[in-house]
Structure 1
Amino acid sequence: MWKKAGALVLVGAVICFHVGITPGKAYEYADTPTEIADGIRIPQRVTLLRDTPYYVIPNTGLNKAEGVLSPQTVEVMEAESGWATSGNWWKIRTVMGERWIKTLPDQIEVAPPKTLSLMVETALYENPSEKSGSLAVLSPQNVTVVDAEKDWFRRTGDDYNPKRWIQIHTTWMGDPWIHLRLDQIGAYQDTNQIRYYSNVGYNRTPYIDFQTFPTDGTQTHQFLHELGQFRSLLGSVSQVETTDGLKWTPLSGTPVVPENITIKRNVSSPLYTYPTPYEDAPKLVSSEELHAIEKLSDDQYAGNKEEWYHVKTDQGEGWFNPVYAEPEDAEEEKIRIDLHNQVTMVYRYPNAQLYLNYGQLGPQTVHPLKAWTDPQGVRWYQVDSFVGKGWIELQADEDRVILNDRVSDMQLKGHTSHQGAFYKEQGKYSFGNETVGYEVGDEPFFETSFLARIYNFTISGPDPDGWWTLKNESGYAFQLKPGELGARTFWKGRSVQIVPLTKPPIINSNTAPLLGLTDIRTLLGASTTVSQDNHEILLSTRQYDIENLHLPNSVNGAYLKLSGFLYDENAKEQNAIVQSLRISVLDRDAQESSPKPIYEEASKNFLYNINYWTGLYDVSLQHPVHPGMNHLTVVFKVGERILAEYEWDVKGSDQAQ
């Protein structure tokens, strides 16, 4: 029989029960779908049979165990629903606050529910055996549970829905036993709720095979009265009124709740027959006021802010959802877009993932009518296509935005290359089985011979003066010398400048010098993500494609102006230091009289997101020019790593000051 284990008190890991603490929301973590502990499908108390680590969040890959709980009974707030068959996360209450534990079925004991709802006539037995025959039959009713066979909730072998013995209390026969399948061990709760079902399959009984889901019938687009729900260890079923009478369905439907608001609109509104966007021709009304009388509640969908309203207007009634309608704050747009992607889908509305007659655009130039930025910051464009007016989303890798008065703008596309992850053990960093770096003080240092390999440089040295040279086929190179606090940079063999280092390179008897992580960012243009205590280091690099670069031969006025659009990744990991593109112009004549290059650097202003991971930036630069010939160089860098350099001559007008 199941025996209740007493709660064990721990020093530093005591589980206590606080009154008034609100349980956490289900679906708190996207990859950990949970349900509130109701004492039926999710137990409210669980007994741990062995030492169990506890965590701040339900993810062993993102955090380490904060401590260990010894065997004891804990109070559950919410949990995943697979606790009887597989590894399961539980949110529990502790003296430290809310914490998470993960268990396997053989690591826990769970008491049976305190009460059960018998939904059909059920045989009673004197002992937990059917050999002696039943004593009587109990009609459908709620019963109090006294005990259960050991491991009552566990499945054995391939039987998904085994029978288990449960002992109940009666006023006229003592405490007999009943033999129930797992899907019969549950409780019925009244709900009295109107719910919408886009498609509903139903059965005559509440006992449904949750593996195959057979149905006795189906109906579509139904607003059904849900009388109640029966929740068991295997799942939940709802009792609903249909045109065929009372039926049971494993589908929950969407609650419909009363509403009394007025939605004001300044553009036409599509009204749908049912609360679903999959309707070929919704009715368009021009009414400025939509009077809502009810809505579909989205409480069961975490993070889903879509809401359907049943509205009435002077032009008719129907269901309205602002997501599946033209946005009110769309702006007129006067740009050109060059679509280079082979397929660009046309959507009925922006950010709705609803195709407009499955229209597709091939590579072409389009002139948007309007533009709109969605709540995530992504820009959408309305175009007049062969399937009608619809909305498109750009592909940052290929599509290009061009302003009508800036057709000669350069186009710059960024992308990231990943060099690898490096882990520290006993002060050494490894890459596979190879030691590639060391921690010196609090600074990670890496072997430059290894850095040359992963960043596609050749390395040579030392020369007679002790300098090591790392050279990339692009033309960029730099030199290091152990003990020196300056690095020499070069472009196609020409000396550029001396770059100060934060720490001098360290001599290594086996290979080329070791270079500190801060200076790796500078000289290689490396982006880094460093975990706490430098335990893990991720190295990556931003690369850039330079397109449509037009350098003017002459300038009217006092300034040379360069501008363009930069398509760059905007996602940034925690603890990341990102080296991104820098553009500058220098005067070669002024450089000859100055020991250090004097640059005019371009500004970079964020405009909007092209998609969820790429932003569009407006890049602009002004450099003073004088009358006559100006000898200029434009430089593209990431950190101090030179991507490209272009020398050209610009004639300034007589008006240049």
Structure 2
Amino acid sequence: MQFKTRISHVIALVSVLSITLISTLQATAASPPRKEFLPPTIPPVITLLEQTSLYVTTDESRKPFAALTPQDVTTIEAEQDWYTKQRGEKVWIKINTTWAGDLWMHLDYDRIGIVKPLDTNIALLWDSYLYTQPSLSTRTDAVLAPQTVHANAIFESPASYLTNSYRIETSWLGDMWVVSQSQMLLNMEIVNQEMDLPTDTLYMENYDTSNRLQRPSDVKMIPPQKVFALEKTENGVYHVRSQDGNTFWIQPEYAEPVGSETINERLTLLKDVRLYLFPTMPFPTFGVLSAQTVDAFERWIDPQGERWYHIHTWAGDMWVQPDKPL
């Protein structure tokens, strides 16, 4: 009887240990590895945008030891949790000077950053307020209408709301800043020359109109003509002016292909195919055409030797590639 009791106790103990071990393993497997939080460091170099007082200690009630004119300074450290500050708050930052050793400055959070030289053209797509410095508190009443401007500097700041802050050149106010302006295109290439559109071309009211087409009825075409190309984006989209003075955007590839052949041919589609507005415009597509026989009125062979056919569909005139079914 005692032997049976001992066996029961052993079995119970083993069961408890097994359950504990399984629970531990499950908890360990379910818990994702913790990532250690690494607080951001203060930028190693900061551009002082205006005359800045320097202190021996972090006490602004004391008389400043000295003051620095606008210049780049080397930082040593900053007060704890400086990166949690909000707009309008100040941060104590220790900097190194060659003439007085390490000193402290009490800097507005949105003035922490460095001005770096730049040489690029920026297209401002919306009305943009002008600022005297790369700080939201320095906004003026001057507003710049949408246009392309030359930028000669950028302000790199840990404050996310100061992203896209550039110093630009104006003819009437000199150098000014655009701050936190997200509606802009960088690295624009100035073209200023005539451009020939040999075939019907997609008209784009905005530089990204082609990405937002949802249905064939949204498509607007312009007939063959000469336009004046003002500028070009990094992706090859041109901002142009027509002979009647209207300005719009075009992508030269988003047009009816040059060298197509007029035909009158019954075309048998053996499998489903996609419908394209142009052979050279891979996105967006406008639906799928099931296997059937259609009337093709135009044929084009692309540089890779592949055949494209222009057909009438429920979605309007579309291009298909029978040799490349879905």
Q: Give the TM-score of the pair, scaled to structure 2.
A: 0.56
Equivalents in 1 of 2:108, 2:305: separation in Å? 51
3-state DSSP class of the match of 2:62? coil
3-state DSSP class of the match of 1:175? strand
3-state DSSP class of the match of 2:253? helix
What is the aligned partner in structure 2 of residue 382 from structure 1? 310
3-state DSSP class of the match of 2:165? strand
What's the CA shift for 1:230?
Answer: 0.5
Asked if residue 240 in structure 1 is aligned to residue 171 in structure 2, the reply is no
Q: Is the 8 A contact 1:189 1:228 kept in 2?
A: yes
Task: For 2:168, give the aligned amino acid.
Answer: V
Of Structure 1 and Structure 2, the greater strand share is in: 1
Task: For 1:229, give the aligned amino acid.
Answer: I
What is the aligned partner in structure 2 of residue 224 from structure 1? 149
What is the aligned partner in structure 1 of residue 16 from structure 2? none
**For 1:8-47, what aligned pairs fall within 5 Å after superposition?**
none
Q: Is the 8 A contact 2:120 2:152 kept in 1?
A: yes
What is the aligned partner in structure 1 of residue 256 from structure 2? 326
What's the CA shift for 1:188?
Answer: 0.8
Deviations 1:113-162 (A, max 9, x none): 3321122443433212334364565443322324333554x437xx5886
Q: Is the 8 A contact 2:192 2:231 kept in 1?
A: no
Deviations 1:227-250 (A, max 9, x none): 211011133411224588433133
Q: Measured at CA, do residues 350 and 385 of structure 1 come closer, stay the same or move farther in structure 2, by a change above 3 Å?
A: farther
What is the aligned partner in structure 1 of residue 207 from structure 2? 276
Alignment counterpart, residue 177 of structure 1, candidates 104, 109, 132: 104
Q: Measured at CA, do residues 378 and 186 of structure 1 come closer, stay the same or move farther in structure 2, by a change above 3 Å?
A: farther
Q: Measured at CA, do residues 339 and 123 of structure 1 come closer, stay the same or move farther in structure 2, by a change above 3 Å?
A: farther
Unaligned stretches of 5+ residues in structure 2:
1-32, 210-218
Aligned residues: 269
What's the CA shift for 1:311?
Answer: 8.4
Deviations 1:489-540 (A, max 9, x none): xxxxxxxxxxxxxxxxxxxxxxxxxxxxxxxxxxxxxxxxxxxxxxxxxxxx
**For 1:66-465, what aligned pairs fall within 5 Å after superposition?**
106=37, 108=38, 111-132=41-62, 134-135=64-65, 138-150=68-80, 152=82, 154-155=83-84, 159=86, 163-170=90-97, 174-199=101-126, 201-204=128-131, 205-208=133-136, 217=143, 219-220=145-146, 222-234=147-159, 235-241=163-169, 245=173, 246-250=176-180, 251=182, 253-257=185-189, 267-268=198-199, 270=201, 276=207, 278=209, 280=220, 282=222, 284-285=224-225, 296-298=232-234, 306-308=235-237, 321-328=251-258, 334-335=266-267, 347=277, 351=281, 353=283, 367-370=295-298, 382-384=310-312, 390-391=317-318
Q: Measured at CA, do residues 328 and 206 of structure 1 come closer, stay the same or move farther in structure 2, by a change above 3 Å?
A: same
Q: Measured at CA, do residues 195 and 134 of structure 1 come closer, stay the same or move farther in structure 2, by a change above 3 Å?
A: same
Equivalents in 1 of 2:223, 2:170: separation in Å? 28
Equivalents in 1 of 2:111, 2:149: separation in Å? 24
CA RMSD of aligned residues (A): 5.5
Q: Is the 8 A contact 2:204 2:250 kept in 1?
A: no
Q: Is the 8 A contact 1:166 1:178 kept in 2?
A: yes
3-state DSSP class of the match of 2:177? strand
Of Structure 1 and Structure 2, the greater helix share is in: 2
Q: Give the TM-score of the pair, scaled to structure 1.
A: 0.31
Q: Measured at CA, do residues 190 and 293 of structure 1 come closer, stay the same or move farther in structure 2, by a change above 3 Å?
A: farther
Equivalents in 1 of 2:128, 2:63: separation in Å? 37
Q: Is the 8 A contact 2:266 2:294 kept in 1?
A: no
Equivalents in 2 of 1:376, 1:130: separation in Å? 72
Deviations 1:78-110 (A, max 9, x none): xxxxxxxxxxxxxxxxxxxxxxxx99572x466
3-state DSSP class of the match of 2:224? strand
What's the CA shift for 1:112?
Answer: 3.4
Task: For 1:186, give the aligned amino acid.
Answer: G
Unaligned stretches of 5+ residues in structure 1:
1-101, 210-214, 299-305, 395-400, 402-606, 615-657
